[in-house]
Amino acid sequence: MSLVPNGLSLEDNCPDQHQNKMNHQKIPNGDAELNGSQVLHFFTEGTKQVQQGNMNGHNSFGDVVSNGKHEQEARYSEQNSNGFSSSRKEEHLINFEDTPPWYRNLVLETEELTADALADLFNDKICVLCVKNYIPDFVCEKLDAFLREKGSDPYTHEIRKNGKVDLQYFGVNRYGYPLNSIYTDETGENLEKYLKEALPTMRSIRKAAAPYLSPIDKFRVELDEAWPKKANVATFKGQKTLCGIGRIMPTSLSKLSEVHPHFDAVPVSCFPDIHKQFTANFYLNVPDQGGELEIWNVPPLDISTIEEFKIPEDWRSQLPASIKVKPDKGDLLLFNTRRPHAITSFSGLNPRTSLQTFIGYTKESEIFLWV
């Protein structure tokens, strides 16, 4: 097996992931995270341009999983000459025995949020967890209209520059005031605004969905019930954080999110207990063409690397072929935000709208939510 020139196997480079073999997954857990420079080193040397398969494997507890509620499927994307890709379900085009571990850990599609599926996500055994039809259409429509009316502030994105956080705009607008607004503010005013607005914003989203349950509230309850450990909204400076922000992406700006793959990593100083970071995206309005979540199935950036990690200008060209997942209206997608990811550009008249919250995961497997 060699995806890297000179006959060097990726597994040889990655001792923590050695034991991983199809059909008896002992796939990397959080402790097997590699640092960013290793990731780049692997993938600048040689990549394979397809990721494909439909795999029935084992779940996180070693049980066989096949079709049904806990179906594990790999979807793949094929890059065509103009660099765009098509996502589709196919069968067994890759022999997973011959691929490095992370090519096998792709997309798990499920009908409901279960402890098994969440464990696969949190242990990095899969790349994306997709809960289909999480939100009824009429709730999507109500919230989409609400966000489009209210959400026009720019949602900047935190990147690192010379070891410092810098905020950049990639064409996403927002409803709600996110925690990252405080990262570059030394006056304390943004913190005050953040804490003051958190609960009223959550309540306004709840009210906009009423008399139905807002997807964020449903998620909070179901996560708490499904996950055996603590799982609730974070506290920051002794107060509840925001959980659930509206994201509104106008068509005309959608290219910006595509050309800049990014990762999301809250500074450890904000949440010293954080071990891993995930995100939950609830899709309310999605374009017919494009607007896919694109994610690179490489080991998530290591916590010790993150604060210093400057995204290379040509990150995309240094990464292997991506996985693209096209959410349908009403779907919920969860993934590790320390993996490079992007949103592909799209066309059409409507903005792409979603609700989103981050998920912090501690070494004790406890969960906290904020945005």
Ligand X SMILES: O=C(O)CCC(=O)C(=O)O
281 binds, among ligand X, Fe ion, none (CB under 5 to 8 A by kind): ligand X
Residues 85-144 interacting with ligand X (rule: CB under 6 A)? none
The CA distance from 307 to 117, in Å, is 29
The partner in contact with residue 318, picked from ligand X, Fe ion, none with C-beta cut-offs of 5 to 8 angstroms by kind, is none
Spell out, one character per residue from 264 to 283, where the chain touches ligand X: x when CB under 6 A holds, - when not.
Answer: x--------------x-x--
Q: Which is nearer to ligand X, 345 or 354 (CB)?
A: 354
Q: Which residue in the block uniquely carries the two structure tokens 């899969």?
A: 126
Q: Is 137 helix (H, G, I), strand (E, B) or coil?
A: helix
Q: Which residue is nearest to ligand X (CB)?
A: 279
Q: Determine the Cα–Cα distance for residues 261 and 55; give it in Å rounded to an integer.
A: 27
Q: In the complex with ligand X, which residue's Cβ is closer, 65 or 319?
A: 319
Residue 339: CB minimum distance to ligand X, A: 10
Q: How far is the CB of 315 from Fe ion (least distance, A)?
A: 14
Let me know how long the chain is.
371
Burial grade of 312 (CB within 10 A; 0-12, 13-18, 19 or more): middle
Nearest C-alpha neighbor of 140 from the set 250, 253, 242, 281: 281
As a whole number of angstroms, the distance between CA 337 and CA 341 comes to: 7
324 binds, among ligand X, Fe ion, none (CB under 5 to 8 A by kind): none
- Cβ atoms of 181 and 153 closer than 8 Å: no
Partner interacting with residue 294 (select from ligand X, Fe ion, none; CB below 5-8 Å by kind): none
As given in the structure block, the two tokens for residue 350 are 């409507």
Stretch that binds Fe ion, among 90-98, 141-149, 227-235, 262-270 (CB under 5 A): 262-270
CB of 293 to ligand X, least distance (A): 4
The interface with ligand X within residues 304-343 (CB under 6 A) comprises: 337, 341, 343
Minimum Å gap between C-beta 185 and ligand X is 21
How many angstroms from the chain centroid is the CA of residue 205? 22
Q: Is 176 exposed, middle or buried (0-12, 13-18, 19+ CB in 10 A)?
A: buried
Give whichever of 14 and 106 is closer to ligand X, judged by the CB atom. Answer: 106
**Shortest CA distance to 344 belongs to which of 279, 295, 274?**
295
Residue identified by tokens 């956080």 is 165
Q: Binder to ligand X among 4, 135, 293, 321 (CB under 6 A)?
A: 293
> How far from the centroid of its chain's Cα atoms is residue 289's Cα?
20
Task: Please report, in angstroms and rounded to a whole number, the separation of the first and last CA atoms in the chain.
Answer: 41
264 part of the interface to Fe ion, by CB under 5 A: yes
Out of 319, 354, 369, 371, the residue judged to bind ligand X by CB under 6 A:
354
Total chain residues near ligand X (CB under 6 A): 9
* Shorter beta-carbon distance to Fe ion: residue 264 or 294: 264
Task: State yes or no: cis peptide before 211, omega within 30 of 0.
Answer: yes
Contact of residue 204 among ligand X, Fe ion, none (CB under 5-8 Å per partner type):
none
Detail the DSSP E strand segments found in 186-244: 231-233, 235-236, 239-240
Interaction pattern, residues 218-257, with ligand X; x per rule: CB under 6 A = ----------------------------------------
354 binds, among Fe ion, ligand X, none (CB under 5 to 8 A by kind): ligand X
- Name the strand (E) or helix (H) holding 240: strand 239-240
Give contact residues for Fe ion (rule: CB under 5 A).
264
Which residues contact ligand X (rule: CB under 6 A)?
A: 264, 279, 281, 293, 337, 341, 343, 354, 356
